[in-house]
Structure 1
């Protein structure tokens, strides 16, 4: 009767011939975590600035509404107060929308810069890892050929 081969031993020998560098995986994880931290800081900073703009806008609007809601001497004065409120609100809206646009532009610029730097770093790390792996495989192949 034919004896079956021990595939466990064969796999163990094969995996031992091609060692794996877990440090590269750890470094990749650390790089990814650092990038995520920086991206989160950009997002949180943009959210904080947006909240400040929104709060200021609300306070300005409420203070102008107070002036509009005062008792007027003539009926035409109510129309003038409403018109003044509307024009002031339109002006403030334009200013605040521009401020929101600046926050978004800065967040976008910072994100692109982070991603480009991360891409460059990953490219350099990948090149180094491939070079090291190639050297290890070549060494392992030479050892296997001499056996």
Structure 2
């Protein structure tokens, strides 16, 4: 029977080969959770306000319908009651739709403000990361240039010694073997 391989050790080894800054992940998580909380608060506040507006509108309509349903002494009174009901409903529709629009506008402004602050934070983080990377690059470049200067000095010194040794050898008295 085939046994399945346990990849736990392999995965730990692989993840250990890639050093990670978990603080950055934690900060990103906290930031994301904070924005999510704010966005949810905006949505729930808007939902509560629109529910209150709708419930008020419903209660007004039901109250008017109660007046409409009452017995009237003359047939013309029913026509007048219907006209009054329709007029009141048109006014109510206008008022409540305006109130709902105000809630939507307010929610839109709060959401836009939240997104703008998130964008600003991302831009600030990107700037900080770019600055850190630039400093690291500058440090590495300086180290590389220093190593290159050192190597050049050593090479120049070695070449000078070789040249001097060759010159000394050339100046040495020659003996005739003849």
- What TM-score does the superposition give when structure 2 sets the normalisation length? 0.66
Report the RMSD for the aligned CA atoms in angstroms.
2.5
Range with greater deviation from structure 2 (120-129 or 59-68): 120-129
- Cα deviation code 1:51-76 (max 9, x no counterpart): 00000000000001000000011111
Q: Which moved more, 1:75-84 or 1:25-34?
A: 25-34
Give the gaps of 5 or more residues in structure 2: 1-12, 148-178
Tell which deviates more after alignment, 92-101 or 127-136: 127-136
Once residues 82 and 129 of structure 2 are traced to their aligned partners in structure 1, the CA distance between those partners, rounded to angstroms, is 68
Q: Which has the higher contact order (CA 8 A, sep 6+)?
A: 1
Count of residues paired in the alignment = 131
Aligned counterparts of 2:127 and 2:32: Cα–Cα separation in 1: 17
Runs of 4+ in 1 over 4 A off after TM superposition: 136-143
Match in the other structure for 2:102 = 102
**What TM-score do you get using the length of structure 1 for normalisation?**
0.78
Provide structure 1 residue ranges, at least 5 long, that are not aligned to the other structure: 1-7
Residue 130 of structure 1 corresponds to which residue in structure 2?
A: 130
